[in-house]
Amino acid sequence: MEDSLIKKIWDDVLVILKDTIVATTYETWIVPLVPHSFEDNCFCALSGQNLAVQILQKNKKEISKALSQITGQDVNFKVIYDEDLHKQLEKEKQKAKKEEEKEFIKNLENRITSSKYDGLKQMQSSCNLNLKYKFDNFVVGSNNKFAHAVAVAVAKDPGKQYNPLFIYGGSGLGKTHLLQAIGHDILFNKPKLKVKYVKAEEFINDLVNSLAKGMDKAGDKNKKMNEFRNKYRTVDVLLIDDIQLIEGKARTEEEMFNTFESLHNSGKQIVFTSDRSPDKFENTPDRLKTRFQMGLLADIQVPDIETRMAILTKLANDNNIKMPSDVIEFLASVYNKNIRELEGAFNTVSAYTSINEIPLNIDNVKKIIGYSEKRKNVTVEGIIDIVASFYNVSVDDIKSTNRAAKTAFARQTAIYLAKEMTNESFPYIGSCFNRKHTTIMYSHQKVKTDINIDKHLADDIKALTEKINM
């Protein structure tokens, strides 16, 4: 069959697949395919990505169905990895990157001339933005497609719609990335707008310091608070990360409410991120809670394995690291809770194998991350349940701030076992206990040390380990 006809068939198939296959899979693995041949009812496409052969196995029936729909006959679909195509794609990628940099500099000269800053980086630094968090390196999947779409819409027309935008989801799923990407995009396309990114913790500390300094001198009381208010109420776009941290802090909530009213009534854009939706804020005044809910709520879920593999593939490509497809699939299957852990595992594995000059393969990766087949069947929640029952305390108490000696002892024991008996990271274990990962690290180390001097504790650990492994 002629190449032109093969290409025409494939172009028609792409139109169908765009509406039937997950965006991440479609954009990352299907669009780059090159139609090659159509013989004996078998349509063959080439890929410059070795991982595509494996990943597209699960979409084979769907692609074959689309081919049959276009050709009117039963068609099998096959993907073949092509080394020459891989090299060609790499060259095109490098060329596109250079062209993008040239275009970026050209646009920069046109956009920043009227600004008080010398360049976009200085503007971004002034706004507390991290240069790595942009829309162009945010991997979109079924878990975050809606949140990404509305974030892009807000960046395009700040203050016009979806105001406020409230993005929520678990730790390490990309909320901060989207929040800062909004800021970067606005600064680049609308440099005259004043953007402020702040973590809720910083907002709280800023308020406390302003109140404290205002008390030093009677005449400074109003001055310091006016400075604080002007800092947050004279911006065009206010981006607040981890807003859940202000819950229960009455004075902070009052200032946030008034800041919200001032900005919103002036048509200024406000975007919040949180680890949970506003209706889960039990200790927040209704008048503030309803303000959080009056715009648009967008949640981010845990990414599916295809999205996690796409993230790892992008990381490998961006860092010029040749990570085998089986290693990518393995890491994506093990680190399935959030993106932060996935990126951390990538950095650890790639750095360790490079520094120690050892092959990047599954056996070495398992040793590096301390993976155990036995551990994967043990869960943190299961350990908490068993420990709570063993010490006759409630699961809620273990996860709470209750500092009673009995509860604290059970909590530290559960933390130690969670780290020793699962493949989970400190940050993930921390999320299960509603604590920072640094607290989890301290508790783990304390029990690890105490076991050697406390026979009673050592006996408890042994007994609990047997119960958990039953």
- Note whether 143 and 264 are same-domain residues: yes
* Whole-angstrom distance, CA of residue 197 vs CA of residue 133: 12
Same domain, 232 and 135: yes
Give, in order, the Cα–Cα distances in Å from 428 to each of 110, 141, 312. Answer: 45, 21, 19
241 and 196 both lie in a single domain: yes
The answer to whether position 371 is within a domain reads: no
Q: Based on the fold, state whether residues 296 and 309 are members of the same structural domain.
A: no
81 φ, ψ to 5°?
-75, 130
How confident is the model at residue 435, as a pLDDT? 86
151 and 25 both lie in a single domain:
no
Q: What is the pLDDT of residue 114?
A: 44
pLDDT at site 52: 82
Tell me what pLDDT residue 377 has. Answer: 76
Same domain, 171 and 271: yes
Instruction: State the pLDDT at residue 153.
Output: 94
pLDDT at 33: 92
Instruction: Identify whether 225 is part of a domain.
Output: yes
What is the pLDDT at residue 212? Answer: 77
Q: What is the pLDDT of residue 118?
A: 45
369: in domain: no
Read off the pLDDT of residues 375-426 as tens digits, 9 standing for 90 and up. Answer: 667 889 999 999 999 999 999 999 988 888 899 999 999 999 998 888 788 8
In sequence order, the 6+-apart residues with CB closer than 8 A to the CB of 222 are: 214
26: in domain: yes
pLDDT at position 158: 94
Does residue 451 fall inside a structural domain?
yes
Domain span holding position 70:
3-81
- Supply the pLDDT for residue 19: 85
According to the model, what pLDDT value does residue 374 have? 66
Per-residue model confidence (pLDDT) at position 196: 92
The pTM for the full model equals 0.63
Same domain? 286 vs 198: yes
The pLDDT score that the predictor gives to residue 107 is 57
CATH number of 442's domain: 1.10.1750.10
The answer to whether residue 368 is domain-embedded is: no
Q: What pLDDT, on the 0 to 100 scale, is given for residue 116?
A: 44
CATH number of the domain within which 208 lies:
3.40.50.300
Tokens of 269: 């854009």
- Whether residues 352 and 274 share a domain: the answer is no
Same structural domain for residues 324 and 345? yes
Same domain? For 436 and 309 the reply is: no
Same-domain check for residues 181 and 272: yes
The total of structural domains in the chain comes to 5
Q: Which of 81, 110, 137 is the last residue of a domain?
A: 81
211, 200 contact by CB (below 8 A):
no
What pLDDT is recorded for position 222?
75
Residues 348 and 449 in one domain: no
Angle in degrees, CA 96, 100, 101, rounded to 5: 120
Query: From first to last of its 470 residues, what are the pLDDT tens digits of the chain?
Result: 678 888 899 999 999 998 888 877 888 889 989 999 998 889 999 998 877 887 888 889 999 999 998 888 899 999 998 888 888 877 877 776 667 666 655 555 555 444 444 455 555 555 678 888 899 889 888 889 999 999 999 999 999 889 999 999 988 889 999 999 999 999 888 888 999 999 999 999 889 888 877 555 555 667 888 888 999 999 999 999 999 999 989 999 999 999 999 999 999 999 999 988 999 898 899 999 999 999 999 999 888 888 889 899 988 888 888 899 889 989 998 888 788 888 888 998 998 888 888 999 999 999 888 877 766 678 899 999 999 999 999 999 999 888 888 999 999 999 999 988 887 888 888 888 988 878 898 899 999 999 989 999 999 999 998 888 87
- What type of residue is 178? L
Rounded CA separation 335/441 (Å): 19
